[in-house]
Structure 1
Amino acid sequence: MKGMNISDQSLLRLERAADELRRGQPVVVTAGDRALFVMPLELATTPALERFDTMVTDSFVMLTNNRALSLKVAGEDWAAVRLERPSWMTAEDMVALADPTLDLASPLKGPYSRINHPSTALDEAAIKMVKWARLLPAVLAAEVEAAKAFPDQMAVDADAVLNADFAQALALRQVASARVPLAGAENTRLVSFRPTAGGIEHIAIVIGEPNRHDPVLMRIHSECFTGDLLGSLKCDCGEQLRGAIKAIEEAGGGVLLYLAQEGRGIGLISKLKAYALQDQGYDTVDANTRLGFDVDERVFAPAAEMLKQLGFGAVRLMTNNPDKVAGLERFGVTVAERVAHKFPTNPHNEQYLATKKAKTGHIL
């Protein structure tokens, strides 16, 4: 598995760099003797730009191919696309360039000129770094020498960034376990997992006393604040969560992995932006790509590692998503059976579920 040799210290630096980015501060992403000095576009302010420009020269904007295409920038299917930074572009323009929910209120000036620079691992790592910080995947960047001194900025290695998902999964450790009786499943234990270098925790909900020798009935459930907690009708997540707990209890036991992967891995704030785009007429897939993300940003390495630590090598997976089957098997967990797990539609999620069937291969 990629990322096996990434140290806890490297992962810790990624977490610290993500904190800097979420405060609108620049970080340095390095690859050998090359480096990019980057700051998140959606948090651009006039003072931040002035400071950025005193530290580097020849800056440019960098977006994902998905966002560039939505801006009518002809692409070459490069994962990261560099655009020239025009002289008229203000901090407000940069924020609007990053955030498509502002397209109607702040019509983009354009046209934008693409720099003929096929994306490199360094470019892709810079974009992934802002994703890691749960920000929109768009940055202001400048090429610098890796050896150049930026004493106030965090520096991270591009290879560590690109492989962080897998390295962090391998670094998961059980940190707490407690019996928590649930409505309809009183014999339940919650087991929390945290990466050794820090990061967001995932939770295993172990119901009953499942047999470790036979394939266990289980579900991977990505957290959904709006659906799970608030009962949102825009999705079917809350029904899937409670339905899975009920089904596992009735089957005599099993496990539900509750993963911190809100909004298919883009984070709660970006998910709300995607909802705003859906209100403008975009479907759930087009909303994610217009924001610059992939259709699904999740990885299932954490789920596989949690199952292994809990002693489950084979599963009966409750899902309508074939990608989850492939995702678990990629990381060494045998999926003995896919168990259908669907619920009736309502007027608010009917189109959402139809899009999942038509565009993401869900079996509904």
Structure 2
Amino acid sequence: MPYRHLIPVSREPLSLLSVERAISELRRGRAVAVTGGDGQGALMMAAEAATAERLVELTVRAGGAARVALTARRASVLGLLPAALRIVVVTPPAPLSLETVRAIADPLAALPVAAAEECTITEVEPHALEAAALQLTKTARLLPAAVIADIAGADAEDLAAWAMRHDLLAVDAGDVFQYLATTARALKRVAEARVPLAGAEDALIAAFRPLDGGFEHYVIKLGDPQVDAPVLTRVHSACFTGDLLGSLRCDCGDQLRGAITAITEAGGGLILYLAQEGRGIGLVNKLRAYALQDQGFDTLDANEQLGFEADERVYLPAAQMLRAIGVTRVRLMTNNPDKVAALTRLGITVTERVPHTFPTNRHNEHYIRTKLARGGHLD
């Protein structure tokens, strides 16, 4: 079934704006206040932006001791607990140091994690403030780890007023959790033009943008697809290195160009180009994953070393764009059964999975084998 409205449509612009501003603050290295429906609040910043001075400032402003929130994937890598889809809080016995933050959050920091063995490890509920803080770091395409401290003090009863006095942005945890669904629902077509492509001169590109002005997604229409029949469709996640630079580490560029050729030869179809670089972790984190792969980790383990799931993509934007152009049935070009299942859950009928494979090279052979053996991909 298509996803339901999670917040009132009238509140969407404010909800999107508050989260987008919080993301911008985190990427600039600033702290933001995260508030819950129970009147609680916490001050948080992205772990990768932490400095010794910022740690001191965060704890002084909040009035409580700082701790580190991270995914259980990352905690499992550190040997702190078995892997699970939960949020973990690491609380040190003494004031949190920059070295401890970096050791816990960044597998490329090459720092010992011995200090973490003396820390208290706590699992929190999936809708806790710590979970919202982590979701913000992921949405900001930063490392999935946050430094967080509860806001305490007699002057913090009104959290919005407290944040304003301290020149801080405040964001509601509920808005954070609903952000991805809200941005997808708020996608609007903002531009389209004919763009002749090599091997596909009859091509039209339409850009869809959420209300908050965030990342655009694109529909590339090739030829003359008939929307009253299942449309040959490729859902393609953006890959700067593969699509634009011709990287040999993945097969993304081959898949994109191959889809253009195959759809054109079939008489018409669609490519949905989603702004979800690196399976949803962003280009910078993908480069970090590549560095870990150079150390011997495969593509899935590298993502989990960073604290991400093996695949962080969501397909809400794809389903929304298909419905916006009147397409509800597709013949999906993919080797990934998860894409078929995701679109089906979102109300798009997948009448056929069309295999989409290409020859490997010595740089991506291990990557392709890993997707087949561990990622559930099909030949």
Give TM-score, length-normalised by structure 1: 0.95
Shift in Å, 1:107? 2.8
Q: Distance in 2 between matches of 1:112 and 1:66?
A: 19
Calculate the aligned-residue CA RMSD, in Å.
1.6
Structure 1 residue 137 and structure 2 residue 144: aligned?
Answer: yes
Report 1:205-354 matches (<5 A).
205-354=220-369
- Larger mean CA deviation between 66-75 and 228-237 belongs to 66-75
* Cα pair 2:66 2:95 within 8 Å, conserved: no
* Cα pair 2:225 2:269 within 8 Å, conserved: yes
Q: Distance in 2 between matches of 1:10 and 1:34?
A: 19
Structure 1 residue 35 and structure 2 residue 41: aligned?
Answer: yes
Structure 1 residue 87 and structure 2 residue 113: aligned?
Answer: no
The percent identity for this pair of structures is 50
In the TM superposition, what whole-angstrom CA distance separates every residue of 1:247-276 from its partner, at most 9, and x where no partner exists?
A: 000000101011000000000000000000
Task: Give SS of 2:108's match.
Answer: helix
Q: Distance in 1 between matches of 2:309 and 2:182?
A: 21
**Aligned AA (1:61):** V
* Cα pair 1:81 1:119 within 8 Å, conserved: no
Aligned partner of 2:132 in structure 1 is: 125
Q: Distance in 2 between matches of 1:83 and 1:174?
A: 43
The structure-2 alpha-carbon separation of the partners of 1:146 and 1:34, relative to structure 1 and needing over 3 Å to count, comes to farther
**Aligned AA (1:5):** I
Task: Give SS of 1:278's match.
Answer: helix
The structure-2 alpha-carbon separation of the partners of 1:68 and 1:250, relative to structure 1 and needing over 3 Å to count, comes to same
Give TM-score, length-normalised by structure 2: 0.92
Aligned partner of 2:204 in structure 1 is: 189
In the TM superposition, what whole-angstrom CA distance separates every residue of 1:311-347 from its partner, at most 9, and x where no partner exists?
A: 1110000000001111111111110110000011111
Shift in Å, 1:166? 1.1
Which of 191, 200, 219 does residue 215 from structure 2 map onto? Answer: 200
Task: Give SS of 1:94's match.
Answer: helix
Shift in Å, 1:84? 1.1
Which of 97, 111, 116 does residue 104 from structure 2 map onto? Answer: 97
Shift in Å, 1:146? 6.7
Q: Distance in 2 between matches of 1:254 and 1:186?
A: 13
Which of 153, 160, 183 does residue 168 from structure 1 map onto? Answer: 183
Aligned partner of 1:8 in structure 2 is: 13
Structure 1 residue 147 and structure 2 residue 162: aligned?
Answer: no
* Cα pair 1:226 1:232 within 8 Å, conserved: yes
The structure-2 alpha-carbon separation of the partners of 1:63 and 1:2, relative to structure 1 and needing over 3 Å to count, comes to farther
Task: Give SS of 1:175's match.
Answer: strand
**Aligned AA (1:21):** L
Shift in Å, 1:226? 0.6
Ranges in structure 2 where 5+ consecutive residues have no aligned partner: none
Aligned partner of 2:23 in structure 1 is: 18
* Cα pair 2:43 2:149 within 8 Å, conserved: yes
* Cα pair 2:67 2:149 within 8 Å, conserved: yes
Q: Distance in 1 between matches of 2:201 and 2:72?
A: 48
Task: Give SS of 2:347's match.
Answer: coil
Q: Distance in 2 between matches of 1:247 and 1:217?
A: 9
Q: Distance in 2 between matches of 1:58 and 1:92?
A: 16
Q: Distance in 2 between matches of 1:2 and 1:109?
A: 46
Q: Distance in 1 between matches of 2:96 and 2:148?
A: 14
**Aligned AA (1:128):** Q
Dislocated runs of 4+, deviation >6 Å? none
The structure-2 alpha-carbon separation of the partners of 1:331 and 1:53, relative to structure 1 and needing over 3 Å to count, comes to same
Q: Distance in 2 between matches of 1:37 and 1:134?
A: 19
Structure 1 residue 355 and structure 2 residue 370: aligned?
Answer: yes
- Larger mean CA deviation between 33-42 and 90-99 belongs to 90-99
Q: Distance in 1 between matches of 2:212 and 2:32?
A: 19
The structure-2 alpha-carbon separation of the partners of 1:273 and 1:146, relative to structure 1 and needing over 3 Å to count, comes to farther
- Larger mean CA deviation between 317-326 and 156-165 belongs to 156-165
- Larger mean CA deviation between 87-96 and 264-273 belongs to 87-96
- Larger mean CA deviation between 122-131 and 276-285 belongs to 122-131
Task: Give SS of 1:249's match.
Answer: helix
Shift in Å, 1:147? 2.7
- Larger mean CA deviation between 90-99 and 335-344 belongs to 90-99
